[in-house]
């Protein structure tokens, strides 16, 4: 199972149906920080793609969202909110929780208490230890690579694609994001909702 599949603790019969990389993800240059992750299980009949997009529109610190369905149950989505300055982790986590709860209220989603957890850049980077050096990757690139792995692409292939040098003295990080976009586009074209 993928790193995020294990961390998110979703039902093993869940299928991933959508990955949304938000505009902020392309602007981040920080290699440290914390991403606050919230899993939201939706009421029956709710569209996970619509709900995740609506909620993310109210969360300016959102790097990405994913959504999916369970075979015998409700759909779900996950938000990934960034806190670059995490000197006060408890305050940041409380702020991320409160922001998500307010967004759920604004969108009319009654989901109870969503499950939240912090993912620090060091933890994300450690997920790559066995497959390559990602020491210069931004926290956003680390997350995007793990989302690509969640979409059933081998993490070693993600690192190989993301670590290729730029053809000229260009921006390696921008090229990495372009390659990641290609991998995600390819997955979206062939998406059959892989098990997470």
Q: Flag whether pLDDT at 38 surpasses 80.
A: yes
Q: Flag whether pLDDT at 72 surpasses 80.
A: no
The whole-chain average pLDDT of the chain stands at 84
Q: Is residue 154 part of a domain?
A: yes
Domain count within the chain: 1
Contact 130, 149 (CB under 8 A): no
Q: Is residue 127 part of a domain?
A: yes
Q: Flag whether pLDDT at 191 surpasses 70.
A: no
Q: Is residue 61 part of a domain?
A: yes
Q: Is residue 170 part of a domain?
A: yes
Q: Is residue 67 part of a domain?
A: yes
Q: Is residue 195 part of a domain?
A: no
pLDDT of residue 196: 54
Cα distance between residue 7 and residue 79, in whole Å: 13
Cα distance between residue 108 and residue 92, in whole Å: 24
Domain that holds residue 68: 3-190
Q: Is residue 196 part of a domain?
A: no
Higher pLDDT, 40 or 110: 40
pTM here is 0.88
Higher pLDDT, 94 or 151: 151
pLDDT of residue 36: 92
Q: Is residue 123 part of a domain?
A: yes
Number of neighbours of residue 131 by Cβ within 10 angstroms: 17
């Amino acid at each position: 199972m993928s790193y995020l599949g294990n961390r998110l603790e979703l039902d093993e019969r869940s299928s991933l149906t959508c990955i949304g990389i938000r505009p902020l993800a392309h602007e981040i240059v920080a290699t440290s920080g914390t991403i606050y992750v919230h899993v939201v299980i939706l009421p029956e009949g709710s569209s996970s793609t619509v709900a995740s997009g609506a909620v993310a529109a109210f969360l300016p610190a959102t790097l990405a969202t994913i959504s999916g369905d369970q075979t015998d149950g409700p759909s779900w989505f996950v938000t990934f909110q960034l806190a670059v300055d995490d000197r006060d982790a408890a305050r940041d986590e409380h702020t991320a929780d409160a922001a998500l709860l307010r967004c759920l209220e604004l969108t009319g989603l009654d989901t109870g208490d969503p499950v939240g957890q912090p993912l620090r850049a060091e933890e994300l980077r450690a997920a790559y230890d066995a497959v390559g050096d990602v020491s210069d990757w931004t926290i956003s690139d680390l997350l995007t690579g793990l989302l690509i792995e969640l979409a059933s692409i081998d993490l070693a292939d993600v690192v190989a694609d993301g670590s290729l040098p730029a053809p000229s003295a260009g921006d390696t990080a921008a090229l990495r994001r372009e390659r990641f976009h290609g991998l995600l586009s390819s997955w979206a074209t062939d998406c059959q909702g892989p098990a997470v």
